[in-house]
Every structure is written in C-alpha cells, then in structure tokens.
Amino acid sequence: MKQIALYGKGGIGKSTTSANLSAALSDMGHDIMQIGCDPKHDSTRMLMRGHWIPTVLDTMRERGDKEIVPEDIIFEGYNGIRCVEAGGPEPGVGCAGRGIIATFQLLERLNALKGDIIVYDVLGDVVCGGFAMPMREGYAQEVYLVTSGDFMALYAANNICKAIHRLAARPKNKCHLGGVICNSANVEGEEALVRAFAEKIGSELTAFIPRSPIVRAAEVNKRTVIEYAPDSDQASVYRALAERISKETKTTIPTPMTMDELEALSLEYLPV
Amino acid sequence: MGALAVTAFVRDAVTLIHGPSGCAHLNATLFQTTLMHQDRFALPEILSSSMSEQDVIFGGEDALRTSLDEAVALGPDAVFVVPTCVSETIGDDVETICSEYSCNGDLPVVMVRAGGFLGGTFHDGFVAALEAAAVFAGGATGASEPARQRDYPVITIVGEKNLESEVEENYDEISRLLGLLGLTVSLRYVRDITVGEMSLLSESDLLIIRDDPDGRIEELCSSFSAAPVISGFPEGLKGSFAFLQSVAGCLGLDAGDALAAETDYQAAIIASFDDLKGLSIAFDSFGFQNATDMLFAELEEYFGITLAASGTPIPVPFTTPVGSTGLRLMLREWRRFL
C-alpha cells in the first residue's frame, strides 16, 4: 500500500489537486482512499459530487467513538474512492491537531486504512504536532509539497521540509519527500522558480499544474476536472501527475533552505 | 498544587480543577498523604471537570460548565476554578465562564491563574491563589463593607504553608508570642477559614506573612490593606525578640513585659539542652534552604553546638524552625542523634 500526503500553504489548491489526483489514480484501476485532514473538511467534496460528508470528529462527538462503524465515516465517492474527512472543532476552540490524532487512531482501530493508495490531504502549515502526526507515525510515507511561485507558499513548503528533515533523525522514520507540485498562481517565471526550489531542497518538480478556468468550472459543477472534463488538457495534467506518483520510487530527505536563501531565490526569479 | 494549597483550605468553598481527572487525582493523593502527617483525615473538596479527549479536541468549556453546575449544586459559598496545562494549552476561556457564573448568581466563581506548564513553581501557584482569594477582602460580593469598630487589633496571618508538617506548631508559636503582648490572631489567610471570614482581610491592623521570599505576598497585601506588614515568621531566639518588638512597634504597644517573659522562656529552653553543649554537628546538603547564619550563630552562642565537617550527621528540617519553640522542638529531635 502506497501512502502519500499533500502538504502546503492554506488555499494553495491541495484539496483540488488531491481530489483530481485520487480520481485519476482511480481511473488507472487503483483502489483509492482519500482522507482530508483539515478542519474545513472540503477535501473530498468534489469526489462526493458536492456532498459534505459527516466528519469523523463530528461523528465521534455526537455518538462517542465506541459505537462508530466504518460506514459512519467512510463514504464512497467518484469511481468507488473511499472518502473520509477528519474535520475539527469550531474555529477558536479546542485542539484540531489532537483531532487528527484521534481520527487516525479510530481509523486504525476500525482497520479502515487500506487500499492500493491512500491520499492524505493535510492542512497547510504544520502548525503543531497533531498535524505532523501523519508524517511522524508513518502514515504519510511520501510527502508532496504543493506550492506556487508565491513567496509565502514557498515559505510554507520549506517549513514542511523542516518537519520532514527533523523527523528523519528518528530511527523508525518512514516519512520522505516525494517531490514538489507547482500549482500555478499565474506568476511569471514560477515554474522555473519552483523547479529551482525543488532542486535546492534536494528534490525535483513532480508536476507543473497550469492555472485553468476548467478547474473553477468543474468545482462549480461539483465535480473533479477528471470527471467534469476528462478530455481537457487540465485532466491530462492530473493524469500525468497520477501516472508519475503511482510509479514514483525515488524519495529524499529534504534539506530545508534558510530564510536568506529562500529570499535570495525568490529575488533571483523575480520578473524584471 | 501550590494553588490548591490555598483554595482547598477555604472550608466552605469547592475547588474545581479544570482538566483531566488524573490531575485532580494526583493532587488529591498528594493531599491525602501530606495531610495524614498533620493527623487530618478529611480530604478537601476537590472536583475535576474530567476532560476527555473529545473535550481537548472540541474545547473543554462545556465540560467546565457541566462541572461548575455540579459544584454549585453542592451548595458552597464560592468555587475556585484552577485550570490545568491541558485546558490552558487549548485555550479554554475559563475566565469568561467564571465571570458568567459569578454574574448569573450570588455564588462567586473565581479563577486561579496557575498554568504549571508556563514555568510556574509551587510558590507561583500559591501566590496566584492568594491573589485570587483576595477578591473576598471586601466581602463575599466583592463590594467593600464599612469597617466595624473593634476594641482589639485585627491580626491576620497570611500565606501559612498548609502542607508543611509543622504548620500548626508554627501557628501555635506565633499565637504564643502574640499572647505575650495580649494579642490574638483574628484571621488565618488562608487556613481553615470561610469565604465570609475573608472579608476581615481589609480590616486588618497588622499582617504577618509566613514567608515571602520574593516580596510578592507583601505586594499583594498592600492591594487590600494599608496595615503594616511583618514579612516572615520569626526564626530562633533572637528572631522571636525581634518579632515581639516589631509587632509592638506596628501597633504602638509597650513590649517590655512580653520581652521579659520571652527572656525567661528562652532561658528555660537553653537550660534544658545543657547536655548538648560542646557537641558538633554536620549537615548534609538537603534542608535549611532558608536558614540564616544567625541561626547557626545562635546554636553556638546559646547551646554550645558547633558546625564541623567531622560532626554528627543529623537530619535537618526543610525550613528554619519558627520562634523559640520551633528551635526547642528541633533540638529535641537532634538530641536523639547527638
């Protein structure tokens, strides 16, 4: 079983990328499970044709975790993809990071973590130990950083590199960096910038996903691009990403950049 | 634990620990074992909000409200809420909830700021609880009441170390010394008192602090009383004389008779330890954390006991003996080793 996780700055397009990646992997014949690890619980919505599925934590809160069965929290979406949303507390209260830990513990207990590939879609910055848990406990074995050419997106991606680098010192570490995915923000020269960033941290650019109006159109129609416009160029990009990730065997322990290096790199690729 | 060492000694109040039940259990167990040394077998009223994992994830405020309802149902005159590391880490708004309960009913609900993970020590929690309880200095409602006319000075002891083994012996010694001046203790803030009794705080004519290593308790006292402050219990023989003179000075009394009586009392103590004269002792590194050179000088000057590396190793008390009587009790123990 391959377990991959998409990490990156909030709003960068992790959920869109994850859902389209899962859909494309599924179309290739893989048995896929996608787990949204973000309190805003919208990771699987497009796979569920716009349906907001009950989150694991809401279900736990309402019924207690003893009575829960897999059918309560795992829902079948596009092409049989099993969709799970961890969810989280209301904004401003509690500890969402602990919620992630509780979700994984429950899924383990239910023996629900199975399939050919599990795709974890994890909240942007690794804000606390709870959100690093999928990496730390061996769930997120191949991490893909989703970023654009925006400086803060690279900054967040670099922070995640720091977490992977730190975890690598642990004897039982299973977390490695699979690559960097550039989800374009239509910034001039960003593919070259993100490629250079990937190389600087000791990895490589896995895919460049151009900005396309098809993505928005698909979302408005509550579908992934793979389902809404399977013949589009954008769908081909997602399929190419899926093809590459499904065969990816080369992973690395990244070397995070210093703040000065990151600033210098961004300056170097700043359009004149 | 430091906070509980104050709040749990308000007889008609309940202390609610907002956190996992283990936090309350640990403290209750420590209380039980410590208080047994004082021959007290009744445990203080300590409740727990018993935060579960779900409370940690979704916030523990509902658990706190449920537990506060239970605490209020017990009919106390006040509730002290002590947050724990967990509830402080996830950011439960304990202060607002306490205010809500205080505003909605007659029962004061007081938060004690004592998050141990913030680097606080036992003493920090202890002072925080004294500060929190000072809200009752003006009466249980917090509103100042006019001071009553009294024909005796109101003497308040502040910050007794409720968990130290000699807490009652130390109190007895202070009472004895005050008695030599014809005075009595009016309020023990906080040891086995009621919420209502704390209103006497602001009427104090003299405040005697048990121990104030960093001056914070004296600063606190100045927030509710303009009365003079003696910032520590007396240590040893000379300390007892100085204490009598200080108390008399603060209250405008003549200490002559009291000093004469204390001289006789100390002379009897000195005579009773004649057999120890010429002996030497050695301390290990533990104990006497706040001992002064004066105390060791007294041992040599009055009792002929000297410090020497080759002396008899003896167990030493954790804190310096209080007053002449404390010294006598200590020497009685030493005699068994010497």
DSSP string, B121-156: -HHHHHHHHHHHHGGGGG-TTS---PPPP-SS--EE
pLDDT at A222: 96
Q: For this structure, is A65 an active site residue? A: no
**The one catalytic residue among A2, A40, A162, A200:** A40
Write out chain B's pLDDT in tens, 338 residues.
889 999 999 999 999 999 999 988 988 888 888 888 888 888 788 899 999 998 999 999 999 999 999 999 999 999 999 999 899 888 889 999 999 988 877 789 999 988 667 767 889 999 999 999 999 987 644 444 555 677 889 999 999 999 888 899 999 999 999 999 999 999 999 999 999 999 999 999 999 999 999 999 999 999 999 999 999 999 999 999 999 999 999 999 999 999 999 999 999 999 999 999 999 988 765 555 555 677 788 999 999 998 888 888 887 677 789 999 999 999 998 888 87
B139 and chain A in contact, CB less than 8 A: no
B56:A96 CB<8 A: no
B85 and chain A in contact, CB less than 8 A: no
B57:A89 CB<8 A: yes
The CA-atom distances, in angstroms, between B182 and each of A10, A44, B21, B175 are 73, 81, 48, 10
* The one-letter amino acid at A27: D
pLDDT at B141: 47
B88 and chain A in contact, CB less than 8 A: no
A99:B89 CB<8 A: no
Nearest CA in chain B to A63: B54
Strands of chain B, DSSP E: 13-18, 46-48, 78-83, 109-111, 155-158, 187-189, 206-209, 229-230, 280-283, 306-307, 312-314
- Exposure class string for A248-265: b at 16+ Cβ within 10 A, else e: eeebbbbebbeeeebeeb
Q: Which of B57, B61, B97 to mutate to test the interface with A (most CBs of A within 10 A)?
A: B57
- pLDDT per position as a tens digit, A206-262: 999 999 999 999 999 999 999 999 999 999 999 999 999 999 888 999 999 999 999
3-state helix, strand, coil in chain B (%, to 5): 50, 15, 35
pLDDT at A124: 65
Q: Which of B225, B194, B57 is nearest to A59 (CA)?
A: B57
Q: For this structure, is A125 an active site residue? A: yes
Please list every residue in chain B whose beta carbon sits closer than 8 Å to the beta carbon of residue A90.
58-59
Q: Where are the alpha helices (DSSP H) in chain A?
A: 14-27, 56-63, 70-73, 96-109, 129-136, 151-167, 190-200, 213-220, 225-228, 233-247, 259-268
Q: Which of A60, A93, A102 sits opposite B59 (nearest CB)?
A: A93
ipTM above 0.85, yes or no: no
End-to-end CA, chain B: 36
C-alpha span between A128 and B194 (Å, rounded): 44
Query: What's the half-sphere exposure (Cβ side, CA atoms, 13 Å) at B48?
Result: 15
Q: What are phi and psi of B192, to 5 degrees?
A: 50, 45
C-alpha span between B23 and B20 (Å, rounded): 6
A117 pLDDT exceeds 50? yes
Task: Find residue A121's DSSP bridge partners.
Answer: A6, A36
Q: For this structure, is A14 an active site residue? A: yes
Q: What are phi and psi of B155, to 5 degrees?
A: -110, 125
